[in-house]
Structure 1
Amino acid sequence: MTVLLQSNAESLVSPATTTKQPRYSTFVSANDEADRAKQRLHIAQSRPGTASLWSRLFFSYANPMMHAGNTRQLDNDDLWELEGENRSAAAFDEFVMHYERHDRSIVKAIVTAYGGRFFLCGLAMLFTTACNLFAPAVLNHVITVFAAPQIDMFNLSAWLGVFFASRIVNAVVATQMRFYLELIALRLTMTLKALLFRKAMRRSIQSKGDAKAVDISNLFSSDVNNILFAAFQINSLWIIPIQIVVDVYMLYAVIDLAAFAGLAVIALFMLLSFAIAKLSGSAFEDIMKHKDDRMKTIKEVFNAIQIVKLNAWEDKFADKIQKLRATELSAVKKFMYLGALNIFVLWASSIAVSAVSFAVYAIVMEKVLTAAKVFTAIALFNALRDPLRDLPTVIQTCIQAKVSLDRFSDYLALDEFTPSNVIRHDLAQPNDVVMAIDDGTFGWTKDTPLLSQVNLTIKKGELVIVHGSVGSGKSSLSSALLGEMDKLAGSVFVRGRVAYYSQQTWIQNMTIRDNILFGLPYDNKKYAKVIAACGLLPDLKQFPGGDLTEIGQKGVNLSGGQKARVCLARACYSDADILLLDSPLAAVDAIVQSQIFGDCICNLLAEKTVVLVTHSADIIASKAANLKVLVEDGKLTAIRHDVALPRSSFKLRTIRSAVDEASHDDEAVKNDAGKLIDDEEREEGRVSKEVFANYFNSLGGVKVCVFLFCVQTLWQVFQIGSDLWLSHWTGQKGGSYNQHETAYNVKVYSLLGAGAAVMVFVRSATVAVVGLRASRHLFDNMTVSLLKAPLRFFDANPIGRIVNRYGDDMSAVDFMIPFAFGGFLAMFFFTVCQLGTAVYTMNFLGFLIIPLVWMYVRVANFYLAPSREISRLWKVSSSPVLSHVTQSEEGVVVIRAFGQDTVGRMIKENFIRNDVNSRCWFSETVTQQWFQVRMQLIGSGVIFVVVSGLVYLRDYLSPGLVGLAFTYALKGWSRWLVLVLGLVLKLGLGVKSAVIGCRQLRGRLMLLLWDNLRTCKRVEYPGSSWAVEGWQHFAFCRHRAFDDAKRAPSCCSCCSYRSC
């Protein structure tokens, strides 16, 4: 067991702890730093806003960043700063103006804010579509010229010259269109996330019980992505029908009325695709519903991981999570099978359309099919294949976006916190009154009052003690004073700034000092007084980093008393006029309680108005209180002491000496001793083979890969065989019509095409099945490993990072990676086989393509390294955004209580984190289009070489072979090569993100488990008598919370505890 655990730890350890040499050296000399500074300056000077027109057209301003990414590892400082309306705050302000103008309709706001820009991109997309449809016309003319007794070279050269010019213009327009579409999507994404965060800061506490209150982490990740994908596809909704109509008209010009037979087949398959898309939309709704349930349970379990481990509930909750996951996977399985069926329908439709059209033209209409007609029709059918394939996907994407928009609208429509519940300015109130409730009735629901006929007046500088039995409504009174409860009658008045201590302590994932400062500037003297008065000085001495020690998620590395005192110090440091403290002393012992009451409440806050909720009988009996309020059965009984001792006379200890002791030099902690949260790692260099090996093993190993290889090979055999058969068919004796021979040719062509469609279905279904197997395997392993992890692991890994693994990464494993894997297989085999066929047709001139392939490899290799680095930066910067959102949502009551300035600061922090993430997105978009435009230009060169070779060999090639080679060229090798590389990158980074993300978590926890095994002696497990009577025996034990912490002093030499 020990050996196995050690081997697992060594194989799963994150890259930062392995001995493997990274691609880039981690040592940075002075010269290297100077070179890096020069590179960053060059990158900044070549930003898009200052680039020339030529540089913008071909994205040449990205060259310095591309060069830097090929020489070293990139970081955020190497990326361009966002400018103008690309910043989150600017994009949000613009969108909110439209959002408020249209009665908070998110759909109308999107249309008015971005509709015009989407339409302009649509016009550019329409132009590129027209350029693509121009290619079959050129093909028809070229084959006709080749079939003529004498070739008109001038006419042929003119057509080819116009064609190549259109390809170059098309490459530039297409990449510019995609770039600006990405910019619109970037702004839309930032806006939607900012809108969600603002709503989280505004939504009422009561709305958390609303049935429409979906999980915000899902909205931030999956739903935003669904809307984003629809934004990319929205123009296709109107361009694809236009493309289909024009394509059919061109087919009519080529094969006459037979084109309408093909149109009827298209209509039939479109109806089938619509039905499948509708079923897919329903399945996707089920997926999102089940995912919400799973994510909610996961967040609850890991937020309460201490309780889970204390009660040894790991197996119980693992079973619960896995059952929820099984329910979700059943819906995913249905969705994936429908996707496989949809892909089969799309491929079968193109074969069926061409077969039926040729059969009608040749058999029914009894006309001769020439090479020009056949291959022009094939090119048009190929052009028709994309819109036929894309239309159901576009519809399905829009359906998913509609579901997500409805979820957005439901969330944004939740009840909001009403600031008007509290009156801030009331001339009728005396100047010395800072809080007052007049005939107030409050409740969490409008039908059930919890506090009735409340009358309370609090004057400036008073100490008010609120007490009562458990559940009597003390915390509800605090909520009523903050305006968080529904005010059913009466009025609430508050004058001055408020600081709030919540009964449920809320700690941020940052250092102790930053938690206390809470966004305010650091004042050494004031800060020292606060930590001394709150009794934090002895605790800070125990931490390796003092007050610069980082606090884990929800303060997991602090005791209950320490969390309470940090939160109390936060309220005290705010220097608010009124401090509303809900049971701040409940988590500390009697000695510390007495000290804090004397030093903090009675001395540090002597000039402040303090409302203190407590159960302590000593404090309730204290004569320092000006007003004592008993809460009982929803009623308040207030007893005022007009003659009270000054609070400053309650000096239990001297604060001044503690202040002197607390004042310390910030330079005392210069290392990472106080660092608790590990930075999220990103591997350097190429995606390792181990990552792919782990994923493919999860898929099923070598057997599955061999099976898919055979399926793909058969697919291309059938696909190319059908095309070669057409070439043979049209190469037979022309001008004569033989019905029997024509029927035979149509039958063979149809069977070969049907075989190709069947192989496509087998591949898609297989990828779906093995993809679900890998998804289940990764999820179960990660869940079991996380639940078995020691608590130290959760101190170093925030919940947001874990939730991100279960959210975006598992969605990638469920959907993106299987589809990318299947797409990669299809595009790779398609490109290699059809390129090889064209080269074979050109004989020795096919070697002229080799220099272009070499250029492609060089450009692709130059692009891959920086693209990987930027993609990883984007991934690493995503988790802090989600962590900040979930963390802020949990502490929204505290944030609102501290005032609108604090709310605004949290919104600004959200903007900053979104901008950091969006910088990576923007840079990735630029580099992608830099690569795309160059690949398309190289693809145009491939077409030029193929056509030139065909012209040179015109005396040796039949019109059928010319049509076949030109048709393959028009299929756009540049596009397929880009798709292949893009899918490789997407697949690699997707597998890496999901698998490495899970492995990093598991690797860290396995190392911790291994360390525990190495440092602990072997335990002799008791026999069956343990179930009846057991003892826990501690002898000379000393403990510490984590490796760098000081050992706690031994409190006893030997002690035993007997089980009950």
Structure 2
Amino acid sequence: MWAIRFRIAIRLKSAFSFIAFQKITSIRALNTVGVGEVINILTSDGYRIFDAVVFGTCNFCVPPLLVICTVYSIWVMGYTALVGIFVYVIFILVQYASTRLITFFRKKIVVVTDNRLHTTNEVLTFMKLIKMCAWEKSFEKRIADIRQEEMALLDKLGYFLCVNSTISTVTPIIATIVTIIVHTSLGFPLCATATYTVSSVFSCMRLSLGSLQCAAKAIAEGGVSLERLKKILLIENLEHYVILQPGSPDALVMKQASFSWDKHESSPESSPESSPETSPETESQCGAHAPGKVESKLALRNISFTLPKGSLLGICGSIGSGKTTLISSILEQMHMLHGSVMVDGTFAYVAQQAWIFHGTIRDNILMGEEFHHDRYDKTIQACSLQHDLVLLPNGDMTEIGERGLNLSGGQKQRVSLARAVYSNKDILLLDDPLSAVDAHVAKHIFQECIKKELRGKTVVLVTHQLQYLEFCDQVLLLENGEIKEKGTHEALIKSEGQYACLMKSIQLTKLHDSKWQDYKPQVESVEVKLRGSDDARANGMQTSESKQKLVSEEFLQEGSVKWRTYHEYCKAAGGYLKVLCLLLIFILYMGTTNLSSWTRLWNSRCGTSDRSFMFDSAPVTQLGRETPPTSDSCNISENPDLHFYQQISGYIIIAMLLFGGIKEYYFGDVTQTASCNLHDRMLKNILCSPMSFFDTTPTGRMANRFSKDQNEIELLLPCSLQSVIQYGLSVLFTLASIAAVFPVVLCLVPLLGLIFFVLLYVFQRFVRAMKIMENVSMSPWISLTTSTLQGLSTVHGYGKKEQFMDM
């Protein structure tokens, strides 16, 4: 049964992560969900579902076990056994209320954790800028403030987890003591056999209560994870409003199209038939919104133009006029309120900020396409990448770090442009591709790539370099999300409108001036240099045999956990003295929960008021050679010192609750202190690391330490550590109790210890190996996710969603 649950849990965890990633790649640019939330969902929340399946099903065994134990205890002791059952029911209700509060705090914690991961991911992403400006301290303080808020909520959550843990331990003992006290106070006879039997029955119910505690916690946290997944799944997918018109003479046609980043219904105020006198404020209103939504301005209004196939459209305008927004609307990254968009062809997209993923230069250019040498060579030459590939150590097989960290801004932009050119798509959307390159390189790209290599393709060129607009077939001038002027360059100049004034205000460099005369020889000199280097560098395209790894491999520590790891954890928890105090509290607590010795002493003195047993060191009867004081005929209710024994039992209950509360509070303080200190040390060490560390370490690997690994230190490790300490001490106390009555059992302890040691050794090796494999595979998964989210518009533009889903 356990194996079946475990297998189902693994499949559901994988399905959970896959569905979340699939949904995220299906929505438009992430403005409704943060990167930190995505990382948290794909790492931590998947394990919440796993735990909910593995432990949550334990709830099904609790009701039948409770019924069986209730019937059997009544048959042994009578109806007074219902008192113990009533104690169980009360504590189960307390656990239920505690679980509701755990769910409440868990929902608040994940929000703060998402914020922390989002901020941490931003810091790791822009570390070069942070170090150049010496902002490490300020960002460390910012993350520390968020972490402090998270720790405050974790402390509150820990209190209720402590309540559940304490209840599952003390309930059987309290139920047994209260049942015996009530039974004897009513004067009902009670023999030793019934006492031990009921105590064993209630101890058996401890397992069900412990399972209920784990199941309640797992189900509560799994429910929070499912709600977070539901929130992602309810985000609306890309709105496919582009109409495909195969065989049309026009590549792109927009008719009275208005777009907004927020979805709301169209209204007469913003309809195409509205009067020209309608004010901009009225036009920007989109009618009735959904309840609770705020009306927002239209990003683009009444866009109309026709772009024939094979033509070059230039788009200009001031900053914020809507040029990039227009490209986004063509890629279906917005909501169309009215109008129509008709397309005949496939898209290639060059973003204003070039998107480069981790891989070689060739991988970034091909982007999953088949390699064709001639087309690849032409693309390299057209995008002016030959000289760069010659200088790189391994040509186009040079490994590029995340976000192209070892490339300049111009190189990244040209690699992104080469990707679009090589894709051989019908319509190319170029969002200011010339802004990041030098002037002579921009001239080469415009002449050799856009005008020559892309001849016959439909090109939409957004640019701030207005000297190239006169070579475009059509020009659009945007202002405040509207087309202010459109037409050919010559027609717009003759109209002497805003476009003509804009062109006159700049010193436009003509293509036939002296600088353009030097263009051809300069390219030829570069080509000669490349041809002379072809034999040595194979035209800048080398195989992977000489490729050097830029990104370091993740270190895999083999063997058992080093003692230094435990030392560092104890040090982070507050030192060995604090840990020893915690161990002492555990010993005192487990001593109070060891009820068997006190029950045996009570039953051994039934019918006599002699209390000398409390100080008597005489050996206890062994192996039945002497008749023990307790027997079926002995009635402990007739003991003259009954009230004394009942008082001691009451004191045991008080001591258990007292030491249980102290133990849980102190244990929570120690583990949370360790978690906080380890996080702060890790953050400080990473912020103080040199840039070479960030150049060779993927962001996903570092993000994995702050998300999944940190979550295990905060929540999973304390639970496991508490179980090890409590069960270890319980075994020692149980062996001591058995040895006091039956010392021969100590002869079997070494043999049993050896068997369990061998099993533990084999089990740990397999578990450790699987855990290492899981952690190592998680880092590339996070890196792929963050990289895909950063280039989501590019992935959608090229139609590569399925390719990234298969990676």
Q: Same fold (TM over 0.5)?
A: yes
Q: Please show how residues 364-375 of structure 1 align to structure 2 within 5 Å.
A: 364-370=186-192, 372-375=193-196
Paired residue for 2:721, among 821, 828, 841?
Answer: 821
Deviations 1:178-232 (A, max 9, x none): 1111111111111111111111111123xx4448998211111222222222122
Give 1:560's aligned residue. Answer: 409
Q: How far off its partner does 1:753 sit?
A: 5.0
- Which structure: greater helix fraction? 1
Counterpart check, 1:723 vs 2:596: yes
Deviations 1:510-536 (A, max 9, x none): 222111110112222222221222122
Equivalent residues of 1:468, 1:632 under 8 A apart = yes
Q: Please show how residues 68-79 of structure 1 align to structure 2 within 5 Å.
A: none
Q: Please show how residues 490-639 of structure 1 align to structure 2 within 5 Å.
A: 490-622=339-471, 625-636=472-483, 637-639=485-487
Give 1:950's aligned residue. Answer: none
CA–CA distance in structure 2, aligned partners of residues 594 and 835 of structure 1 = 86
Deviations 1:249-271 (A, max 9, x none): 11111111111111222222223
Q: How far off its partner does 1:667 sit?
A: 5.4
Give 2:577's aligned residue. Answer: 703
Q: How far off its partner does 1:657 sit?
A: 6.3
Find the residue that maps to 2:173 and give its secondary structure.
helix
Give 2:197's aligned residue. Answer: 376
Find the residue that maps to 2:640 and give its secondary structure.
helix
Give 1:433's aligned residue. Answer: 250
Q: Please show how residues 69-108 of structure 1 align to structure 2 within 5 Å.
A: none
Q: How far off its partner does 1:659 sit?
A: 8.0
Equivalent residues of 1:441, 1:487 under 8 A apart = yes
Equivalent residues of 2:429, 2:461 under 8 A apart = yes
Give 1:181's aligned residue. Answer: 5
Q: How far off its partner does 1:305 sit?
A: 2.0
CA–CA distance in structure 2, aligned partners of residues 656 and 795 of structure 1 = 32
Q: How far off its partner does 1:409 sit?
A: 1.0
Give 1:233's aligned residue. Answer: 55
Paired residue for 1:351, among 173, 178, 193?
Answer: 173
Paired residue for 2:768, among 858, 868, 872?
Answer: 868
Counterpart check, 1:278 vs 2:97: no
Paired residue for 1:424, among 240, 244, 258?
Answer: 244
Change in Cα spacing, 1:488 to 1:855, as seen in structure 2 (3 Å) is same
Find the residue that maps to 1:484 and give its secondary structure.
coil
Change in Cα spacing, 1:701 to 1:806, as seen in structure 2 (3 Å) is same
Deviations 1:927-957 (A, max 9, x none): xxxxxxxxxxxxxxxxxxxxxxxxxxxxxxx
Q: Give the gaps of 5 or more residues in structure 1.
A: 1-176, 910-1060
Change in Cα spacing, 1:449 to 1:659, as seen in structure 2 (3 Å) is farther
Find the residue that maps to 2:191 and give its secondary structure.
coil
Deviations 1:666-692 (A, max 9, x none): 65552452x221122121111111111
Counterpart check, 1:318 vs 2:140: yes
Give 2:206's aligned residue. Answer: 385
Q: How far off its partner does 1:333 sit?
A: 0.8
Counterpart check, 1:879 vs 2:754: no
Give 1:712's aligned residue. Answer: 586
Instruction: Tell me the amino acid that sits aligned with residue 190 of structure 1.
Output: S
Find the residue that maps to 2:731 and give its secondary structure.
helix
CA–CA distance in structure 2, aligned partners of residues 611 and 867 of structure 1 = 56
CA–CA distance in structure 2, aligned partners of residues 518 and 226 of structure 1 = 35
CA–CA distance in structure 2, aligned partners of residues 379 and 815 of structure 1 = 32
Equivalent residues of 1:582, 1:613 under 8 A apart = yes
Counterpart check, 1:670 vs 2:545: yes
Instruction: Tell me the amino acid that sits aligned with residue 705 of structure 2.
Output: R
Q: How far off its partner does 1:664 sit?
A: 4.0
CA–CA distance in structure 2, aligned partners of residues 440 and 755 of structure 1 = 75
Paired residue for 1:330, among 152, 156, 167?
Answer: 152
Equivalent residues of 2:191, 2:634 under 8 A apart = no
Change in Cα spacing, 1:642 to 1:492, as seen in structure 2 (3 Å) is farther
Equivalent residues of 1:214, 1:411 under 8 A apart = no
Equivalent residues of 1:240, 1:391 under 8 A apart = yes
Counterpart check, 1:687 vs 2:504: no
CA–CA distance in structure 2, aligned partners of residues 433 and 196 of structure 1 = 38
CA–CA distance in structure 2, aligned partners of residues 200 and 658 of structure 1 = 46
Find the residue that maps to 1:670 and give its secondary structure.
helix
CA–CA distance in structure 2, aligned partners of residues 404 and 871 of structure 1 = 22
Find the residue that maps to 1:202 and give its secondary structure.
coil
Find the residue that maps to 1:472 and give its secondary structure.
coil
Q: How far off its partner does 1:726 sit?
A: 1.4
Paired residue for 2:26, among 202, 217, 239?
Answer: 202
Q: Please show how residues 142-161 of structure 1 align to structure 2 within 5 Å.
A: none
CA–CA distance in structure 2, aligned partners of residues 365 and 878 of structure 1 = 64
Larger radius of gyration: 2
Deviations 1:758-802 (A, max 9, x none): 333333222210111111211112222222222222221222112
Length-normalised TM-score, structure 2: 0.84
Give 1:397's aligned residue. Answer: 218
Equivalent residues of 1:552, 1:794 under 8 A apart = no
Find the residue that maps to 1:215 and give its secondary structure.
helix
Equivalent residues of 2:254, 2:305 under 8 A apart = yes
Q: How far off its partner does 1:561 sit?
A: 1.0
Deviations 1:963-1019 (A, max 9, x none): xxxxxxxxxxxxxxxxxxxxxxxxxxxxxxxxxxxxxxxxxxxxxxxxxxxxxxxxx
Equivalent residues of 2:301, 2:482 under 8 A apart = yes
Instruction: Tell me the amino acid that sits aligned with residue 23 of structure 2.
Output: K
Equivalent residues of 1:763, 1:822 under 8 A apart = no
Find the residue that maps to 1:234 and give its secondary structure.
helix
Q: Please show how residues 165-314 of structure 1 align to structure 2 within 5 Å.
A: 177-205=1-29, 208-210=30-32, 215-314=37-136
Q: How far off its partner does 1:402 sit?
A: 2.0
Equivalent residues of 1:363, 1:739 under 8 A apart = no
Deviations 1:824-847 (A, max 9, x none): 111111123313432453333541
Q: Please show how residues 776-791 of structure 1 align to structure 2 within 5 Å.
A: 776-791=676-691
Q: How far off its partner does 1:728 sit?
A: 2.6
CA–CA distance in structure 1, aligned partners of residues 674 and 34 of structure 2 = 32
Give aligned-pair identity as a percent: 27
Q: How far off its partner does 1:362 sit?
A: 2.4
Equivalent residues of 2:384, 2:444 under 8 A apart = yes
Moved more, 544-553 or 570-579: 544-553
CA–CA distance in structure 1, aligned partners of residues 801 and 590 of structure 2 = 60
Instruction: Tell me the amino acid that sits aligned with residue 908 of structure 1.
Output: D
Instruction: Tell me the amino acid that sits aligned with residue 345 of structure 1.
Output: I
Instruction: Tell me the amino acid that sits aligned with residue 133 of structure 2.
Output: N
Find the residue that maps to 1:493 and give its secondary structure.
strand
CA–CA distance in structure 2, aligned partners of residues 634 and 878 of structure 1 = 43
Give 1:851's aligned residue. Answer: 751
Number of aligned residue pairs: 718
Find the residue that maps to 2:729 and give its secondary structure.
helix
CA–CA distance in structure 2, aligned partners of residues 389 and 686 of structure 1 = 30
Counterpart check, 1:803 vs 2:803: no
CA–CA distance in structure 1, aligned partners of residues 162 and 93 of structure 2 = 17
CA–CA distance in structure 2, aligned partners of residues 608 and 619 of structure 1 = 17
Q: How far off its partner does 1:548 sit?
A: 2.0
Instruction: Tell me the amino acid that sits aligned with residue 684 of structure 1.
Output: E
Q: How far off its partner does 1:576 sit?
A: 1.0
Equivalent residues of 1:800, 1:883 under 8 A apart = yes
Instruction: Tell me the amino acid that sits aligned with residue 700 of structure 1.
Output: G
CA–CA distance in structure 1, aligned partners of residues 581 and 34 of structure 2 = 46
Change in Cα spacing, 1:706 to 1:512, as seen in structure 2 (3 Å) is same
CA–CA distance in structure 2, aligned partners of residues 710 and 241 of structure 1 = 36
Find the residue that maps to 2:748 and give its secondary structure.
helix
